[in-house]
Structure formats: structure tokens, C-alpha cells
Amino acid sequence: MGPNLYANYVEAIAMILFGIGFFTLLLRNNLIKKIIGLNIMDTAIYLFLASKAYIPGRVAPIIVDGVQDVEKYINPIPSGLVLTGIVVSVSVSALMLSITIRLYKRYHTLNLDEISAKLKKEGL
Amino acid sequence: MSRKISEEQYKKNLSVRFRNWISGETDPYLGNMEILPQRDASPDEKTRKKHMEDQTRVVNRTYDVENNRIYRFFNAFYKKAALLCCLVLIAILLLTVSYLPKTTDPHSPGNNEVAERYITRGMQETGAVNAVTGMILTYRAFDTFGETNVLFVATCCVMILLMLEEGSKKQAEDENDAKYEPKNDAILQTIASVLCPIIFIFGIYVILNGHLSPGGGFSGGAIMGAGMILYVSAFGFKKTQRFFNEEVYKVAKISALCVYGLIGAYYYITGANGIENHIPLGIPGHILSSGIILPINIAVGLEVACTMYAFYALFRKGGL
Amino acid sequence: MNQSFMIIITVFFPVIYGAVMLLAPCFKTRSSLIKATAAGLAVTAVFAVLSIFGGGSFELLKLGENLKLYFRIDNLGKMFAAVVSIVWLLAGYFSFEYMKHEKEEKRYFGFYVMVYGILMALCFAGNLVTFYVFYELMTLTTFPLVLHSRTREAVMAGLKYLFYSLCGAYMVLFGIYFLNRYAATLDFTAGGSLDMGLAAGNEGILLTVAFLMILGFGVKAGMFPMHAWLPTAHPVAPAPASAVLSGLIVKMGVLGIVRAIYYVIGTDFIHGTWVQTAWLVLSLITVFMGSMLAYREKVMKKRLAYSTVSQASYILFGLALLEPQAMTGSLLHVVFHAMIKSCLFLSAGAIIYKTGKTNVDDLTGIGKEMPVTIWCYTFASLALIGIPPASGFISKWYLATGSLESGIPYFSWIGPVILLISALLTAGYLLPITIKGFLPGKEYDYGSLKKAEPVKTMLIPLTVLAGLSVILGVFPNPLTGYIADIIGTLF
Amino acid sequence: MDIIRNFPCVSIMLCLFSGILTSGVKEKAAKYINRTLIMTVIVLNALTLYYTLATGSAFVYVMGMFPAPWGNELRAGALEALMATFFGVIMMLSLCGGQKKLFDEVDPAKHNLYYIMTDVMLASLLALVYTNDLFTAYVFVEINTISACGLIMIRQNGRTIEASVRYMIMSLLGSGLLLMGLCILYDLTGHLLMSNIRQSIIEITKHGLYQIPLAIAICIMCVGLAIKSALFPFHAWLPDAYGYSTVSSAAILSSLVSKGYIFLLLKIFYRVIGFNLIRGSHILNMLFIFGLCGMISGSISAIWEKDIRRMIAFSSVAQIGYIYMGFGLGTTEGVVASIFHILAHAATKSLLFISAIGLTDVSGGSRSFFELTGSGYRNKIAGIGFTVGSLSMVGIPVFSGFVSKLLFAEAAVLHPDQKMLPTLIVLAISTILNAIYFMKTVVRIYVPEKASVVRRKGYFSVKPGQQKLYTVTIICFTVLNLFLGMMSEPIIHVIKMGLGNFA
């Protein structure tokens, strides 16, 4: 293990969350749980970025009374990335949810394997 | 002494096979490259029924998730393997983290000339007090336009899935509302009639102050969308459709996106070709300032509000 | 220059002509179809003659750097082109009559014309890539000829033919990849163009490559162990098709080996290596095995197919000796065997066409029914067995002397012995038909005898081919002289 | 002349605009907008290609007022322009070929949604090709994913929706990994634009800093993109998605979407990390091995497949294996071969899908292999198209597949170390396997069917004149194939030049 694990504990937590989300999205049969996993994964990435930007004693990059000093504000880029990422994940989860609704209305189950089994039974 | 062996034994034995192979009698493609002759007569009723039964039996035995041992074994194995993979993934990522630059270190590579310029000269160049908004809407405007389009495409996909025709829309709405939604709930309506105006006003405020304070088009639009959802769930679709139906939605969405796109295109092309663009930056800190950011914020806010409401409406009754 | 342009016309005119014949909705009546085919073949033949006398070279297009489609006419190509043209035209003339009792003649004739152009391209190919490209195209275009009557057996045989050829072709391609790296150029240069500087240290790979190419082309030439497509494909194909198959397509495999070994890799490189030994062994095995199987076989066309397997390996044996005498013998045998074997197949076709008998045992007294056909058959078989003065004798003589002079331990004398045995076997499986045909014995009742002589359209090609196969043996000198100066450039 | 510099940006914006406008119009207008748009895009990018070839160098286009480290950028070189033009052409042909089927299979009220999807898909592909900014690339990857999902499920039966949910799941995993990788990369370098990341990566490698995180970031991004482009172990979603969606979608997905991701991966290798650094790491060997496995396993599952469209889908698993194998060789020749194979496979695979649909239509709509007997006579033009496609896939000379196989083999033979033999052997094996299942199908469609069976099953036959658009499409595809097969020299030249401009 490298030197900075303790210093970067927030990122470490973010990574663990990412793993959990990945696991859930990959393995859970239940579609809703999959979507939750997706959101956990994305949130972990936002946590990572946000913590990357944070430096103690500096404030959010909104210029107050005209002071434009690098020492005073944090790096604005990660915040921007987080904004973009949030929008993307919102749209993706909406799409996933709508697919889930369709599948549920058709097969009355949320379990992906059962859905495939029923499909194969239909022989469609 | 030799004993007589039967025909098929003889066919099986090695030397005969070899001889056949030599003389090209055996056909390597026979059996797996068959050009099967088409079955001419259709099978009679009984056999077909029998076939169907076998089919269903086989299918059931194969796909019933509970009792199919192979299936369950595979499932368990798959789960464990994948769990292992994910643990390995986590371990690798932790290893990465442990080697990353220190978070709170002001000299980490992240805080380089780029961030510095955004902070120190951002206000003069973009006219926005809020450096984040300034960054995502002028320096990295292309990303943000793409991101708005992500929302747009997602709405279209949801429409593909959940949009219903007029007739079925009606009854779907009725049964849904009957099942899930309170009809004319007095408490809800009272609270909503108090809250909705405030929410709307707050949303508009967040949008308009995007370049001065935290917030901007996306957050403000989300707030307004929430307000509309509250209104719908309190007063039902009939009242909502009086001021927000499909046509209004289309017009609002398309006009918002087009405005954004036009401003964007104008900005990119003028910027790239060194033509100075005629959108005044104004005095930073005033409400009417910061060049293209304010109109883009308004457009984005409109778009996001519409999208949020559209998601809700599509999910609930398959139409606007 | 114009005559070099003539090559392109020779190659592409028949291909386009055939394609048009296939796709065009006309040719409702049979006669118009025949006329069209005859015209196409004739014109192509004229072009072929012109370009043979014209010579020259032509570069068509480049596939990649130093991978170009390039045609050049040299003496070897001229010889093969001449043989191909003669046999192709005669067999085509024969099939005008023969194809009456087959369906879908349009498809047959269309592809027939096409393949002519592609064979020309193979003869005139100037480098290995061109040769490979047209080799593949030859496989694809002869495929419909094989599965012409699309019965199940025909389709299976066609698939078998296709896949054997594809496997062979990929072995060749594999070789081309390497030669492209190690050879100075892929253009055919007499004596080989291997870059010894690059090759130094990689002899192992290059020998493997040479062996692979021999095997790959050997598939078409029906060399053991990849010979099995021949006896399957021939009985199902129409008689003219199988005539050209074993008369010419097999020879194209031989041409490929000559080009690859003598003109790209170089004889010195594989002289005395395991490759040569393996090649000799395989060809001798094939010679012997083919004759044995032919002797055992009862279906006539299959028997002829097996005899093709063995005779083609005579040629390969001669080539494998890497020695001028034997090489002469091989090239002679290429010419002779083309004539003889197509003559044999065509007479078999004539018999099937008139009497529908395919099995050898049914042919008692056939000589009384169709004497001319059987006489042609007899002359051809005598030539194939190698009874002097008929042609087969010359080539086998050269082969035997060559192998004795080559001085390779054991093979120098094993070779002639096996050739002799196989010649005897050849007599054993060819002559009985004649004997039974002319001397049916007492119990054959002459009452049921009816003349079944086919029409002239069939007889003329037979007689011409039979005549050629004898006459070329009586006056071999121009041919040998011509071959001598081909060989002169090689050794 | 310099006005041409605007064309990449203009074409992307045009696509997004027409997507937006299409959402307000009826289906016919939507179709016209879509067609004109694609034609315009083709023309614009062809001009860009001409310009880049004339100047012989790539140019950078600043999106906005702020240059490299601060603002977004596009970058157009010969290779990008070639790719963009080619994508446009293929998309045009696929849409034309599948149009009739689209009308049959899709609820007409949703046609304009379909055209929105295609427009935005084209926009995202162009952006992926042209962008010089990793984060923009991420955003447009997401657009690409969502619109691809829409293309799959526009035809609504259970199979397609299940396929699309599986597709979404896999590609979301992929993009999650991609995003995580580029966040780590940003953290290490402090930049998001490719050229700047390249600079600072050279810096930190010179000082030997952060080697482990760098390697892991590269790995994560590669795995993410490999998942999205259905490399061998991650191809489970592919057969359903390609096999049951409407035919234009299948053609577009198989020939464009995965190719866009692969091209992005290529750009990451060359422009972000630097190919020498990549060659040093072991990631290429991983890609190589997975590519080889994919080549074999895809072909084998295609042989056992009885449904013709699923068969074609499996064969594209094998083809993607080829492409990654070429990357894995780690030599410039290998990469050139892969890029050429991207083109060749795009041309061939869409042709196969479209002609296959013609064959199944005249076989009572059944896609089972045995029902196709003799369909090559019932629909001649489709039969010809399928034959051409199969020959090209098998790698018969004068068709496009042959050239790419030749290039692969050349690359393998020129390869310095021990990757030569496995490549050649696997190439030969998978070629033979291709030959088996494609030739089998070709023979099958040309084996005549009993008239009684035809009458009983009610098969009908189609004259080429009846479906003019379809016929024209197939002819165009065939010509394209022959062109790639015979005139490959200039294209290879352009590819090499573009790669030269990459670094």
C-alpha cells in the first residue's frame, strides 16, 4: 500500500462505495436494486471528485467582494464535472426506470433471470 | 485362427475406417453440414400435440429457476466469482488511492494553471461571479450542451417506451389515479396552493442568479419541475393541462434547446474564427450581466423543468 | 503496349461475358444459348492465341506495397495456356451435345466460359499473389460445375471439394505471408528469388513454408493425404466438367507447385532437405495408392478419378526430384495426361449419355455398340499405360531416367520400380473395358445388339483428343525442344 | 479555404439541431430532415478529408474563445475525417436498406423518435471521432449509449426490451469505469484535454511519479471501453441486441456504435497516453489474448447457431476480436490493419444484416436456418448481397475482407516477438470456421426448394424492381465492398498518414 491511504481516506471510502455499486449493478437480479447500484456508483465518483477539490480554509469558487486569489478559493473544475455527471446519471436512471416499468407491466416480475426464462418460454 | 465378426463391428474397426478415409468414402461434412431435405407432409394432430408437450416439458425443466441444479450451481458459482472480482476491483482501487496525490495538498496537480485562470481571470472573461457556472457555460460550453442533449435523448427514449396512444392513455390515467393517487385530497391541495408559488418563485430566482450565486439552470429547473409535480399530484392532470399540455411542452422544449444551440453555435464559431462576438459582458455582479450565461441558464432551466415534469407524467400515465 | 493489354482482354472478356450470360434474361431457346457459348469460347480462344504470340506483361492494380496484381507471359505459361485452350474448347464442344440431358444448361455454360478466362489468368499470372487470387476464384467458379445437378450427393461433394480447396488455399496463403517477408520479390523469377540474407537463420520456418505450399497446391493436384475430393467430386459432376476437372484444374495445382518451388523459393534451397524427401514419399505413396484403388473400383468415372490421382502424382514425383530430366518428363506428362484423361472421361461420358451405364461390369459388348468411342478410349488408355510409341511412354521414360540419374539414395531406384508397378496396374484397370467391350464372350447374345454410336458433336472431340495423345507420342521432338529451353532457364 | 475548418463543428451542431427539430415534426418531415442531414454531413466531412489531405496535417478547432488548457477543442486529421465520412455513408445506406422493415415493425407514431435517435447517434459518433477532450468524450459516450438503447427498443417486443436492459447494464458498467478512469487521470495530471494530458504524462513518467495509479487508470479505461464494444468475455448482451432489433438498428449498432468506442480507445492510446507507454504496459497483451479468444469463440457459437441473424451477430463478436487482436500486436502495422478492418467490417456486416432480412422476408418471415432453402432464388438481389458479404467475410480475394486479413497477417509476420505464430494460427482457424458457416448458408440459400413446399408455406418471390431502394442499397454496399477490396491502397495511405498526424 502506498503512503497516502490515510490522507486520502475520503477517496478510499468513495472507492469502496464504487465497488459496492459496481457489485450491485452487476449481480443483483432485481432491476430496482440494479438501478440503486448504478446510482451508488455514480455518487461514489462525485464524492471522489468533490473530495479531490477540497482544501481546508478555502471556500467555494464564488467571487465575493472582488477578491480573486487562488489561495482563497478551491478548484472549480471538479464541481463542474460533478454537475455534468449528475445530469447524466439522472437521465440514465430515468431511462432504466422506464424500461423496468415496461418489463414489469409485461412480465409482472422485477427479476431479470425470471424475465429471460419467461421470454424463452414464450419462444419469442 | 480368425473368427467371423458381424457387419457393423467390421464397419467400426480401425483398418476399415482408414481405408474408407483413404478412398474418400467417408464424408467429413456428413452429419454436421447436412442439407436436410424439407419435411413435406405436415405431421398429424397427435404427433404435433406430443411435440408441443415435449417442448413445454423440456422448456419448463430447463428454465424453472428453483429445481434446475446446473442452473443453480452456475448461479452460485457466478455470484461468488463476480463477488471476488468486485473485491479485487475494490482492492485495486484502494491501492490506486493510496498512491494518489494528497487531497488537501494545495500543490497537487489538480490545482494548476487551469484552475488558477478560472479563478483569477474568470470574472473578467466570462462576467460571471460564480466561477463554476462561468466555467461550465463558457470555457467548457460544449460539454454542457452535450449534457443538455443527454437529457433530451433520455426523454425521447422514455417516450419510445412509455408513450401511449390517446385512447389507452385516458384509461391508463384513470386507473393509475384511482389506484395510486389521492383524489382531491384537501390537505394536499391546501398545502400545494400555498407551496407551489413559492417553489416556482424560488426556482426562477435560482435560475436567474445562476451567474451570481450557487445554482443555475439545472438546479433551478429541477426545483421548478418539482413544483409542477407537486401541483399535478395535488390537482390532477385536468387542471394542469389547462396551462401545460403536450403542445406547450413541445414548444417550450424545442425553443429552449434551439435558443441554447444557436447561442452555442454562435459562440463557438465566432470564438474559433477570432471574430469578436457582440454579446456584452456587462458589469459582473449585476443581474443583467455575464454575456451568454444568463440566456443559456434560462433556456436550460426551461428545458430541465419540462424534462422533469415529462418524466413524471410519462411514468404516471404514459403521456403529457 | 497493346499486346500486353491483350492479356487483360483475354482474362476479363470471358469472365464478363459469362457473368452477362448468367444474369441476362435472354437465351430462352437452347440453340441461342449454344451459339452464345460457342461465340464466347471462340473469341476468347482467339484472344488467347494473340496474347500467347504477343507475350509482354501488364500490371493491373496494387493491393498493398509489393502486393500487386501483375501478369507476365513466359514460356511455361504459354505451354499451359495452349494445353488449356485445346482441351477446354474440345470439352466445350463435347458438352454442347452432352448437356442436353442435364437441366439448367445456362448456368453450366455461363460458368464454363468464366472459368476459361480465369485459367488463362492463372497461366499468365506474373507473381504469387496474382496466382493465389485467381486460384481462389477458380475454386469458386468451378464449384457450380461440380454441384451442377443439385442432388444431395452433388451438394455434399461440392462442399467437400470447396473445403478441401479452401484448406489448401489457406496453407498457400500462409506461405505467401512469409515469402512476402523473406523473398526479394514475389514475381516469378526463374531459379527462385529468395533473399538469402534474410533467410539466413530462418531455414526451419522457410522449409515448413515450402512444405505447406506443396501440400496446399497438392490438394488441387490430388496428392495424398488431401486427395479424397477427387473420387467424390468426379462421379457427380457432368462428364465434360469432370474431364476438365481432372484434365486441367488438377494441372493448375501442378502449375502452382512449379511456380512456388521453381520460380519463387528456388530448387537449391530445398534440394536434399526433409522437404524433398517428404515430397517424394508422399508422391510415390499417391502413385501406388491411386492405382490400387482404381484397380479395386467398379464405378467407371470413380476409377478414372483414382487414375487421375495416381497420374498427377507421376508429375509431382518428377518435380520432386528437382532434376532436369525428370522435370522434362513431368512437363511432358502434364500435356499428355491432360489430353488422355479428358479423352477417357469424355468417352465415359459418351457411354453414360447413350446407354446410361456407369458400372464397369455392365460394359460387356459395349465395343460392339459404340466402336468408335471405345477405339478412342483404347488408344487413350494405351497412351496412358505407356505402350510405345504412344505418348505416355515418352514422359515415363524421361521420368524413369531422370530419377535414376538424380542419384538420390534409395529413391533413385524405388521410384522407377513403383512407376513400373503402377503402369502395370494402369493396364490392369483400363484394358479390361476394351477387352470385355470387344470380346464379350459366348454368352453375349448379339440379338440385343443395337448401334449406339453418339453423334459427331461428341465423336469429333474424342477422336481429336485420342489422335493427339498418340501423335504427340510419335513426334515428341518439338514439344521436348520447347520444354528443354524452359528447363534451361531453371537449372 | 479555411472555412472548411469549421465543418466538423458545424456538422456536429447540425446533427444535434436536427435531432431537436425532429422532435417537433411528423414522420415524413422527420425522414426528409434525417436524409438531408446525413447527406450534408457526408459532404462536409468529405470536404474536411480533402482539406486535411491537401494540407497534410491535422488542425485544432477551439470551441469558444479560450484555447487549449482552458476551453474545449475539436481536432480533425485525415483519419478522423475519413472515419466520419465513412460512418455517414454506412448510416445512410443502413437506413435506406432497412426503411421498409422499419415501417412494418415500428409504430408509425414513433418514427420521428427513431429519426431523433439516429441523428443524435450520428452527432455522438462525430463528436467521439473529432473531440480533443476526454470529458466531452465521456458525455458523448453517454449520448451514444442512450441513443443506441433507443435504437434497440424502438421495435417493441419482449426480446428487444430485455436485450436493451442488458445492453444498458453492461454499457453503464463500462461508462462508470471510463468515468472513474478519467477522474483518476485528471487527478494525476490536472488536465482534461488530450494533448495537455499527454504533455503532463510525459512529465510525470520522466520523474517516475504516480506510475501505479497511471497504469491502473489506463487499465480501467480500456476495460470500460472493451465492455462497451463487446469484447469477448463481455459479449453476452450482443446476440439478442443485434438479432432482434429492427434491421437498420442492427446494422448501425454492429457497424458503427462499437466502432465508435474502439476509435475512442485508439485515440486514448495514441493521443492521451502515447503509444510507446502503452506498448510498455501489459494491457496490450490482455487485449491480444481476449481478441484471440473472441475470434475463436465467436465463430464457434456462430456455427452452432440456427437463427441466421444471431449467426451474423456472433460473427461480429469474432470480427471485434480481430480488431482488438490487431491493437494487441502493438505495432503500427497491426493498428493500421485494425483500422482498415473497422472499415471493411462496417461495410460487410451491414450488408449481411440487410440482405439477410431480405432473405427471411421471402421465407415466410422465419429466421430459422432451415427455412431459408432456396430463398436466394426468391429474392435474387438479397441472395447476391448475402453471397458477396459472406465471401468478403471468408476473405476471398477482391472483396474487402481479404485485404484486411492480408494486412493482419503482414503485421503478424513483421512482428518482432513471439506473437507471430499464435496470430497466424488463430487467423487461419477462424478463417476456416468463417468459411464453414458462411459457405454453408450460401449453399443453403441456393439449394432449390420443392415447389410443393413453396406453395404450402406460401412463400412469395420478389423481383429486384419491386423494392427499388433496397436494390440500390445492396448494389451500393456491394460496390463499396469491391472498392475496399481492390482500391485499398489509397485508403491505407490515408490511414497511415492520419496515424502519423495523431502523435
Q: Is the pLDDT of residue B175 over 70?
A: no
Average pLDDT, chain C: 86
Q: What is residue D235's predicted lDDT score, i.e. its pLDDT?
A: 86
Least confident of B104-118, C281-295, D329-343: B104-118
Question: What is the per-residue pLDDT for A33?
Answer: 92
Rounded Cα distance between C272 and C264, Å, is 18
- Contact of A116 with chain D, judged by CB distance below 8 Å, is answered with yes
Identify the domain containing residue A56 by its residue range: 9-122
Helices (H), chain A: 9-27, 31-53, 76-107, 112-122
Residues C124 and C71: beta-carbon distance below 8 Å: yes
Segment B172-180 mean pLDDT: 59
State the amino acid at position B167 in one-letter form: G
Q: For residue A71, give the CATH number of its domain.
A: 1.10.287.3510
Q: Does C155 contact B35 at a Cβ distance shorter than 8 Å? A: yes
B28 pLDDT band, cuts 50/70/90, is: low
Residue A33 lies in a domain: yes
C-alpha cell of C347? 468417352
List the domain range (segments joined by +) for residue D428. Answer: 282-503
Q: ω into residue C225 within 30 of 0, thus cis?
A: yes
Nearest Cα of chain A lies from the Cα of D298 at a distance, in angstroms, of 22
Across the A/D interface, how many CB contacts are shorter than 8 Å? 77
| pLDDT value, residue B222 | 93
A24-69 pLDDT, tens digit per residue, is: 888 888 899 999 999 999 999 999 998 888 888 888 888 877 777 8
> How large is the ipTM?
0.81
For chain B, what is the mean pLDDT? 80
Comparison of pLDDT for C14 and C57, the residue scoring more: C14
| Residue B257 pLDDT | 92
Per-residue pLDDT of D87-134, as tens digits, reads 999 999 999 988 888 888 888 888 888 999 999 999 999 999 999 899
Output the pLDDT for position D149.
Answer: 92
In the structure, what pLDDT confidence band is assigned to residue D177 with cuts at 50, 70 and 90?
very high
pTM, whole model, 2 decimals? 0.84
Verify B-C touch: 3 or more CB pairs within 8 A.
yes
All residues of chain C having their beta carbon less than 8 Å from the beta carbon of residue D373 are none
Query: Would you call A7 and B104 a contact, using CB atoms and an 8 Å cutoff?
Result: yes
> What is the average pLDDT across D3-7?
87
Dist. CA B308–CA A91, nearest whole Å:
10
pLDDT digits 0-9 by tens, D363-409? 877 778 888 888 888 888 899 999 999 999 988 888 898 888 888 88
Q: Is the pLDDT reported for residue B37 higher than 50? A: no
Cell of C243: 474431364
Instruction: Output b/e per residue, D28-37; b: 16+ Cβ within 10 A.
Output: eebbebbeeb
Q: Per residue in C431-460, is it b (16+ CB within 10 Å) or e — as a string?
A: eebbebbeebeeeeeeeeeeeeebeeebbe
pLDDT of D68 > 80? The answer is no
Residues in D touching B145 (Cβ below 8 Å): 16
d(CA B132, nearest CA chain A) in Å = 5
Q: Name the nearest CA neighbour of D129 among D226, D234, D52, D45.
A: D45
Q: Does A47 touch chain D if contact means CB atoms closer than 8 Å? A: no
pLDDT at residue B39 tops 70: no
Indicate if the pLDDT at residue B225 is higher than 80. yes
C62 and chain D in contact, CB less than 8 A: yes
Confidence label for B34 from pLDDT (cuts 50, 70 and 90): very low
Q: Which of C163, C230, C289 sits opposite B29 (nearest CB)?
A: C163
Q: Give D225-244 pLDDT, tens digit per residue.
A: 999 988 888 888 888 888 88
Q: Is the CB of residue D271 less than 8 Å from the CB of residue D198?
A: yes
D10-50 residue pLDDT tens: 999 999 999 999 988 888 888 899 999 999 999 999 999 99
pLDDT digits (tens, 9 = 90+) for B183-212: 677 888 899 999 999 999 999 999 988 888
- Per-residue pLDDT at C2 exceeds 60: no
Q: Does a structural domain hold residue D288?
A: yes
Which grid cell is A26? 452487476
Residue C223: pLDDT band (50, 70, 90) is: confident
Judge whether A62 and B130 are in contact, CB under 8 Å.
Answer: yes
For residue D210, give every residue at least 6 positions away whose Cβ sits within 8 Å of its Cβ, in sequence order, or none.
B99, B100, B101, D188, D204
- How many contacts (CB atoms, under 8 Å) link B and C? 28
Identify the weakest region by mean pLDDT among B278-282, D289-293, D484-488. B278-282
Residues in chain B closer than 8 A to A83 (CB atoms): 132, 136, 216, 218
On the 0-12 / 13-18 / 19+ scale of CB atoms within 10 A, B195 is middle
Q: Is residue D78 part of a domain?
A: no
Asked, for residue A3, whether it belongs to a domain, the answer is no
What integer is the mean pLDDT of D286-299?
91
Confidence check: pLDDT of B118 > 60: yes
pLDDT on residue D262:
93
Mean pLDDT value of segment C41-70:
81
Within 8 A of A99 by CB-CB distance, chain D residues are 153, 161, 164-165, 168
pLDDT band at D461 (very low <50, low <70, confident <90, very high): confident
Q: At residue C490, does pLDDT exceed 70?
A: yes
Per-residue pLDDT for B122 more than 50?
Answer: yes
Q: Where do we find the cell 450482443? A: D238
Domain count, chain D: 1
Residue D109 lies in a domain: no
Cβ pair D113:B159 closer than 8 A = yes
Residue D436: inside a domain, yes or no?
yes
Residue to substitute from B17, B25, B29, interface C, most C β-carbons within 10 A: B29
Residues of A in contact with B136 (CB under 8 A): 80, 83-84
Is the pLDDT confidence value at C447 over 80?
no
Contact D44, D123 (CB under 8 A): no
Residue D165: its chain A contacts at CB < 8 A? Answer: 31, 96, 99-100, 103, 112
Q: Which chain B residue has the Cα nearest residue C297? A: B23
Q: What confidence category does residue B36 fall into, taking pLDDT thresholds of 50, 70 and 90?
A: very low
pLDDT tens per residue across span B40-58 = 445 567 777 777 777 777 7
pLDDT of res. B43: 56
Position C129 scores a pLDDT of 87
Residue pLDDT, tens place only, D143-158? 999 999 999 988 888 8
Contacts within 8 Å (CB) and 24+ apart, A102-110: A102/B161, A102/B162, A102/D161, A103/A31, A103/D161, A103/D162, A103/D165, A106/D158, A106/D161, A107/D158, A110/A30, A110/A31, A110/A32
pLDDT score recorded for residue D275? 83
